[in-house]
Amino acid sequence: MLSNQAGEGKRASLHGHWSSKMAFILAVTGSAVGLGNIWKFPYIAGQNGGGAFVLVYLVCTVVIGMPVMMSEILIGRRGRRNPVATMELLGKEEGSSGHWRWVGVLGVIGGSLILSYYSVIAGWTLGYVVKSASGVFVGASVEAVGAEFKNFVGDWRIIGFCHTLFMALTVFVVTRGVERGLEQAVRFMVPALLVLMLVLLGYSMNSGYFGQGLSFMFSIPESCMTLAPECPLTWDSVLAALGQAFFTLSIGMGAIMAYGAYLPEDTSITGASAAVVTADTGIAILAGLAIFPLVFANGLDPADGPGLVFQTLPLAFGQMAGGVFFSTIFFVLLSFAAWTSAIGLMEPAVAWVVEHFNKTRAQASLLIGGLIWFIGFGSVLSFNVLADTTFLAGTLFDNVDYLTSSIILPLGGLLITVFAGWVMCRNSTADELGSAGTLYKAWRVLVRFIAPIGILFILINAIT
Ligand code: TRP
């Protein structure tokens, strides 16, 4: 078997290694924790009716997300190249085909498309840093906060400028490679974000509507428990939940594979994955628990969409003692969280251009960044000039989001599980996961049967 040769002659990465296991966990956590947890999870859960959606999301995270994440890391570490080259190399090495590189290509495209709108929303958080600091939210009414948001996103020049600023910051870090400073940033940012989420949670618990928020998030209609036809959860919602699990964990597009390429041999892939999945899911749930009581306390609509966080949290901060301070810090931290994620979103494309076209990191990130910046204007305009131009899934922004979260990520995840479970031989995966014990067997059952069949089943049901 060719694969055994790879197992013995371990490859070195072309881009340097993480300084430690902790550094790797921090980097992956930094990529996972972002707008997906705090901005996207609450509004998607709100649009899909709460409880039943949250349950499906949690099940998808454990049963599909976790094994896919482990697969991506192990593939990345074994290949030690950019996702495109890694898939091609391992595909050949495992006696299959170099065409597996298309999985990497799909990831490069998916990541770039996600970043095109991610940067726009991250631009909003930058804008909200300034708004918070200016004190406009102090004692503001629901209507005032809502109007503030509508005016803000209604002006394409302002949010276009914020998007430009955010992309520039992202390109700046990516140019400099795997950065020590980034590890430091994540080490501080994630705990600080956690503390501020707890402050918000405390406020929500005292809003008098905590019970209502809790029940919105966790109570499941009787009809769904018995799988009766009256259950309001549609296959579209199930696909949205699956897509959200992929999106928030940064999986399905080779980003984690790219990070895995820099992982030292002796790090436990299972342990690292479990840590990241726990932190990421915990922060999303916390965000939901902080936001939904505020939604109900202020008579807002949980299905309001992408503006949800920007219309609830400033309201809460505006009524808190020290609100200007907390609110400013919160949006600074959220911008940081988005920044560390954006870097991860660009990494597969940049690593690929560097290796494939023989460019410097700076050239590659300017090229890719410029392209993504340009595409991002489609999303900038979706909230103002082109707000009424809708097709298929909605505005241009809605379509890019649907195409990436609901199609590209699950499809990428499906192909990754098939590759790790069926194409790679047992020896290769057992070698990377470091055992052939019970845990390994469980992973293999999940990755060979449960995850691919589950993804396929959901995709087919939702699309037909
Ligand atoms: N997980 C990120 C978030 O929740 C977004 C994201 C999706 C991402 N795919 C990624 C980040 C790949 C880095 C790499 O905000």
Q: How far is the CA of 133 from the centre of ligand 1 (A)?
A: 27
**Cα-to-centroid distance, 110 and ligand 1 (Å):** 11
Burial class (CB in 10 A: 0-12, 13-18, 19+), 456: middle
Dist. CA 69 → ligand 1 center (Å): 12
Q: How many CB atoms lie within 10 A of CB 12?
A: 8
Residue of 28, 29, 31, 120 to test ligand 1 pocket, by largest number of atoms within 8 Å of CB: 31
Query: Cβ distance 48 to 115 under 8 Å?
Result: no
Distance of CA 36 to the CA centre of its chain: 5
Q: How remote is the CA of residue 363 from the centroid of ligand 1, in Å?
A: 23
Chain segment 104-128, per-residue pLDDT in tens: 999 999 999 999 999 999 999 999 9
Q: How far apart are CA 91 and CA 336, in angstroms?
A: 36
Please report the atom of ligand 1 found closest to the CA of residue 39.
Answer: 15
Q: How far is the CA of 256 from the centre of ligand 1 (A)?
A: 10
Say how many Å lie between the CA of residue 346 and the centre of ligand 1: 10
The ligand 1 atom at the shortest distance from the C-alpha of residue 36 is 4
**Tokens 């599909």 belong to residue:** 64
**pLDDT confidence of residue 296:** 96
Cα separation, 227 vs 220, in Å, equals 11
Side-chain-side CA neighbours of 317 within 13 Å: the count stands at 28
The whole-number pLDDT of residue 7 equals 40
- CA 440 – ligand 1 centroid, Å: 26
Ligand 1 geometric centre to CA of 95 (Å):
32
**Cα distance between residue 332 and residue 329, in whole Å:** 5
Q: Please state the atom number of ligand 1 nearest to the C-alpha of residue 34.
A: 15
pLDDT band at 18 (very low <50, low <70, confident <90, very high): low
CA distance 270 to 443: 9
Least confident of 96-110, 152-166, 178-192, 229-243: 178-192
pLDDT at 4 over 50: no
Residue 297 has pLDDT above 60, yes or no: yes
Beta bridge partners of 394: 391
Q: What is the pLDDT of residue 301?
A: 95
Phi, psi angle pair for 394, to nearest 5° = 135, -135
Q: What does the pLDDT average to over 369-374?
A: 98
Distance 436 CA to ligand 1 centre (A): 31
Q: CA dihedral defined by 201, 317, 48, 160, rounded to 10 degrees? A: -140
Pocket test for ligand 1, best of 280, 334, 340, 341 (most atoms within 8 A of CB): 341
When mean pLDDT is compared across 80-89, 150-159, 180-189, 311-320, the lowest value belongs to 180-189
Q: Quick check: 177 pLDDT over 50?
A: yes
Classify each residue of 345-369 as buried b or exposed e, where b means 16 or more C-beta atoms within 10 Å of its C-beta. bbbbbbbbbbbeeebebeebbbbbb
CB–CB of 123/166 below 8 Å?
A: yes
Going by alpha carbons, the residue nearest to atom 11 of ligand 1 is 341
List the single range of 3-7, 117-121, 305-309, 329-333 with lowest mean pLDDT: 3-7
Compute the average pLDDT of residues 204-219.
94
Take atom 12 of ligand 1 and give the residue whose Cα is closest: 250
Q: Which of 273-277, 349-353, 376-380, 444-448 has the lowest mean pLDDT?
A: 349-353
Closest protein CA for atom 6 of ligand 1? 250
Q: pLDDT value at position 437? A: 85
User: Looking at ligand 1, which residue's alpha carbon is closest to its atom 9?
Assistant: 250
Candidate of 345, 350, 406 to mutate for ligand 1, largest count of ligand atoms within 8 Å of Cβ: 345
Residue 54's identity, in one-letter code, is V
Q: Say what the pTM is.
A: 0.93
CA atoms of 283 and 286, how far apart (whole Å)? 5
Structure confidence at residue 222 (pLDDT): 85
Name the amino acid, one letter, at 140: A
- Helix (H) and strand (E) counts in the chain: 24, 0
Between the CA atoms of 235, 237, 240 and 242, what dihedral angle is there, to the nearest 10 degrees? Answer: -60
Give residue 6's pLDDT band: very low, low, confident or very high (50, 70, 90).
very low
The set of residues, in sequence order, having a beta carbon less than 8 Å from that of 298 and lying 6+ positions away, is 142, 312, 315
| Cβ contact 317:323 at 8 Å | yes
Q: Ligand 1: distance of its center to the CA of 168 in Å?
A: 18
Give the mean model confidence (pLDDT) for residues 294-310.
Answer: 95
Q: Which CATH superfamily is domain 22-463 in?
A: Amino acid/polyamine transporter I (1.20.1740.10)
Instruction: Find the residues whose C-beta lies inside 6 A of ligand 1.
Output: 31-32, 34-37, 111, 114, 247-248, 250, 253, 255, 341, 344-345
Whether the predicted pLDDT of 315 surpasses 60: yes
Hey, where are the domains in the chain? 22-463
CA distance 38 to 45: 11
Q: What is the mean pLDDT of residues 127-156?
A: 97
Say whether pLDDT at 288 is over 60. Answer: yes
Q: What mean pLDDT, rounded, does the chain reach?
A: 92
Q: Are 68 and 413 in contact (CB under 8 A)?
A: yes
Q: What is the pLDDT of residue 307?
A: 96
Residue in this structure with the two tokens 């705090």, named with its chain if needed? 38
